[in-house]
């Protein structure tokens, strides 16, 4: 039997390292990787039968959905975004998903969408919760505190001035007047000393510069850094979830308020120590943080992910054994 591993199209400007973190989670269960398989081209695969763990965000290329019959899939940690659902859940798409059911879903919103369409589905959680294979001994953990893409959904100069069209749109929706919001919001929750001494990592990289092998290597390097960290502060779920798996203390900065974003977090966000920003700009948290985060802030992960992770491992191991 051959085994495939998901890779991903780049957007017009960048690619998301979190996608490759999700594929690293799948890779650990495979005896070998015979072929990289692009998520957006599964409907045009023309080679021998191949097993494929189908975890992650689906899909941008609606015209190439559904996967061909020669792909033997395990639908686990599957996320169907609200932007893609109207296109993917047509007659052909529903017939395919019903054939592959039950569908393990990364979030409870996906479960709800599929069940409403008559597809058997259940909440599986995210496969990145199984990345405890990167966990290190406590003696290897250092004093580094990482800040990873905080409040990345807020406007930035790069986003606003990307093209003339982006600039005009930013004026119309008011984003051009919100430049600097990331910095100002971060200063409200992290003290100045830590902002100066923390190490900064991004899980978004420019398009057209890295091979798939290099993308996997960068994702793995990120995980190895987080594994040894004293604390990680992030707005990336595919940074925060692996941190839970690796036992690294993590604080999730939740400034998301659009349905496209919040639907991704249903069933996931309660696993984290969180700082939530309300629509009116107020800050709350679920772990009794009394003041700003400092270099001495101590948090203990909630530990709610362990049963989810063990079930995910069992599902993937059984799929490979079949």
Residue 155 has pLDDT above 80, yes or no: no
- In the Cβ-directed half-sphere of 156, how many Cα atoms lie within 13 Å? 10
123 in Cβ contact with 77 (< 8 Å): no
Domain ranges across the chain: 2-127+308-321, 131-305
pLDDT in tens, 93-150: 999 999 999 999 999 999 999 999 999 999 999 999 999 999 999 899 999 999 999 9
| Cα maximum dimension of the chain | 58
Whole-angstrom distance, CA of residue 21 vs CA of residue 220:
7
Question: 3-state SS string over 45-104?
Answer: CCCCCEEEEEEEEECCCHHHCCCCCCEEEEEEEEEECCCCHHHHCCHHHHHHHHHHCCEE
- Residue 293 DSSP code: B
Of 33-42, 151-160, 215-224, 261-270, least confident by mean pLDDT is 151-160
pLDDT grade, residue 172 (50/70/90)?
A: very low
CA 162 → CA 12, 168, 180, 228, 258, distances in Å?
Answer: 11, 11, 16, 35, 22
Whole-angstrom distance, CA of residue 22 vs CA of residue 218:
13
Whole-angstrom distance, CA of residue 153 vs CA of residue 264:
14
Instruction: Report pTM.
Output: 0.93
- Please name which of 55, 49, 39, 53 lies closest in space to residue 319, comparing C-alpha atoms: 53
């Amino acid at each position: 039997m051959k085994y495939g591993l998901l890779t991903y199209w780049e957007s017009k400007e960048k690619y998301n390292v979190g996608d490759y973190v999700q594929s690293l989670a799948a890779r650990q269960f495979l005896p070998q990787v015979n072929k990289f398989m692009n998520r957006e081209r599964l409907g045009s695969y023309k080679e021998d039968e191949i097993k494929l763990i189908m975890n992650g965000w689906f899909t941008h290329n609606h015209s190439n959905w559904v996967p061909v019959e020669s792909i033997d899939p395990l639908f686990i940690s599957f996320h169907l975004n609200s932007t893609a659902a109207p296109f993917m859940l047509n007659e052909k798409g529903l017939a395919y998903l019903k054939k592959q059911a039950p569908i393990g879903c990364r979030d409870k919103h996906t479960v709800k969408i599929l069940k409403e369409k008559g597809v058997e589905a259940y909440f599986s959680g995210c496969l990145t919760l199984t990345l405890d294979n990167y966990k290190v001994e406590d003696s290897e953990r250092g004093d580094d505190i990482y800040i990873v893409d905080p409040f990345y959904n807020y406007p930035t100069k790069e986003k606003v001035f990307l093209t003339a069209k982006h600039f005009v749109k930013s004026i119309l929706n008011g984003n051009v007047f919100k430049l600097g919001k990331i910095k100002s919001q971060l200063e409200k929750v992290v003290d100045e000393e830590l902002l100066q001494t923390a190490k900064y990592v991004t899980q978004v990289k420019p398009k057209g510069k890295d091979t798939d092998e290099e993308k996997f290597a960068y994702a793995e390097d990120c995980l190895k850094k987080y594994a040894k960290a004293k604390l990680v502060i992030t707005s990336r779920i595919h940074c925060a979830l692996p941190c839970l798996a690796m036992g690294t203390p993590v604080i999730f900065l939740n400034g998301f308020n659009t349905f496209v974003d919040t639907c991704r977090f249903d069933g996931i966000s309660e696993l984290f120590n969180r700082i939530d920003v309300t629509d009116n700009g107020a800050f709350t948290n679920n772990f009794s943080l009394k003041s700003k985060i400092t270099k001495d802030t101590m948090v203990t992960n909630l530990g709610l992910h362990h049963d989810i992770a063990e079930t995910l491992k069992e599902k993937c191991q059984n799929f490979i054994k079949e």
